[in-house]
Amino acid sequence: THPVLLDVDTGVDDALAILFAVAHPEIELLGITCVAGNTSLENVVANTLRVLDVADAPPVPVAGGAIRPLIEAARASHAHGSDGFGELSADPDFAHPHSFRAADPRHAVDLLRDLLLSAAEPVTIVALAPQTNLALLLRQHPELAPQIERILFMGGSAGVGNATPVAEFNVWHDPEAAAIVLDSSVQTFMYGLDVFNQVTIDRADADSLLAAPGASARLAGRLLQFPMGDDPDAPNESAAAADAAPSYTGHIGDAGALCALVDPGALRIERRPVRVELAGFARGQTIVDRRQRVGEDAIHAGAAAGSGSAGTLPGTTLVDVALDVDRSRYARLFLDTIARLP
Ligand code: BDR
Ligand code: CA
């Protein structure tokens, strides 16, 4: 099993990822930290607790962290609805009648520190949001880096962006934080838009989830049908799409990063120097240097190997970058995993 800490900005697809993490037998979910991103920190914490309720998850600490990026305040994103939860937060269908959950009183950085210190073995951090909390952790507690197995993050792109023509939302929202994480001594694994956008659930399967008896499956079905946008310049996109006939995409989104954790063999992965652009119009772009093979094992499918080292370009670090995915394999893995939940 993989001991895992999740960092989220729940978030329609973060919610799908939380359901997956609770359900998958090889994932031992130690805790969840929240950060502002898709929506306010307050909404992120509330949405996260709600998802755990619906999944009837065992008690897991949930802590709130950074309320804004390190340097530059980002524009609000409405891509996941006004509540960051596809407008489902007021839906009585998904209210737990006897919820006992409350947020952990610790700050996310303190919760991460405590859980890393008490873990029996190094822990994988799966980051599905802007990396503000993780940058703060690595700056405040660099001595904990050996306790982190690796940071598997949804973010970045080797090609086209979504928040801007070249930048992916999570990195764009806090580029300095992403740069701190990439430049740390912790090995990183990038599950970026190159693979993120590929994994979708067929409409018929989403309809079956909606019709299922279990509340978790129904929630997954509802979330898969929410028309998620990513462009912060188009705040009314989802509302407008809901008024017109909403276009179905069925993206599992962030849940794909957890598929990458338990089934890396479905990915084509290259270990490449990656650098975050911090200035100008390309701010938030992840520049993946694919020009040359870095050593014999630079290109491989399956599990990421070895540990991080300095890149061949000054100021760059080697990152395991997922570039292609067996999309139907992950769609099946997602459906089979969600089916385990009540
Ligand atoms: C990322 O941004 C958010 O909207 C999603 O939850 C995902 O983590 C995609 O760019
Ligand atoms: Ca997210």
SS3 of 215-246 = HHHHHHHHHHCCCCCCCCCCCCHHHHHHHCCC
Two structure tokens written together for 97 = 């009648």
Q: Whose CA is nearest to atom 10 of ligand 1?
A: 169
Q: Which of 251, 276, 65, 241 is CA-nearest to residue 153?
A: 276
- Tell whether the model's pLDDT for residue 304 goes beyond 70: no
Question: Of 85, 128, 197, 237, which is best to mutate to test ligand 1, by the most ligand atoms within 8 angstroms of its C-beta?
Answer: 128
Q: How far is the CA of 185 from the centre of ligand 1 (A)?
A: 25
Query: pTM for the whole thing?
Result: 0.91
| Helices marked H in 72-197 | 108-118, 132-140, 169-173, 175-182, 193-196
What is the number of the ligand 1 atom nearest to the C-alpha of 169? 10
- Tell whether the model's pLDDT for residue 122 goes beyond 70: yes
- d(CA 295, CA 133) in angstroms, rounded, equals 33
Two structure tokens written together for 319 = 């990152």
The pLDDT of residue 241 is: 47
pLDDT band at 294 (very low <50, low <70, confident <90, very high): low
Q: How far is the CA of 129 from the centre of ligand 1 (A)?
A: 7
Q: How far is the CA of 254 from the centre of ligand 1 (A)?
A: 7
What is the number of the ligand 1 atom nearest to the C-alpha of 196? 9
Q: How far is the CA of 11 from the centre of ligand 2 (A)?
A: 6
Tens digits of residue pLDDT in 146-161: 999 999 999 999 999 9
The pLDDT of residue 315 is: 60
Ligand having the closest approach to the CA of 162? 1
ipTM over 0.90: yes
Q: How far is the CA of 125 from the centre of ligand 1 (A)?
A: 17
Q: How far is the CA of 253 from the centre of ligand 1 (A)?
A: 7
- d(CA 255, CA 215) in angstroms, rounded, equals 18
Tens digits of residue pLDDT in 224-246: 998 876 555 554 444 554 455 56
Across the range 199-215, mean pLDDT stands at 96
- Tell whether the model's pLDDT for residue 24 goes beyond 60: yes
287 in helix, strand or coil?
strand
Q: Which residue has the higher pLDDT, 7 or 76?
A: 7
The ligand 1 site (C-beta within 6 Å) comprises 11, 13-14, 38, 79, 128-129, 154, 162, 168-170, 230, 253-254
- Tell whether the model's pLDDT for residue 326 goes beyond 60: yes
- Tell whether the model's pLDDT for residue 139 goes beyond 50: yes
Q: Where are the beta strands (DSSP E) in the chain?
A: 2-8, 27-34, 62-64, 123-127, 148-154, 188-191, 267-276, 286-288, 299-301, 317-325
| C-alpha gyration radius of the chain | 18
What is the number of the ligand 1 atom nearest to the C-alpha of 163? 10
The dihedral built from the CA positions of residue 269, 273, 277 and 278, taken in this order, carries a sign that is positive
- Tell whether the model's pLDDT for residue 32 goes beyond 50: yes
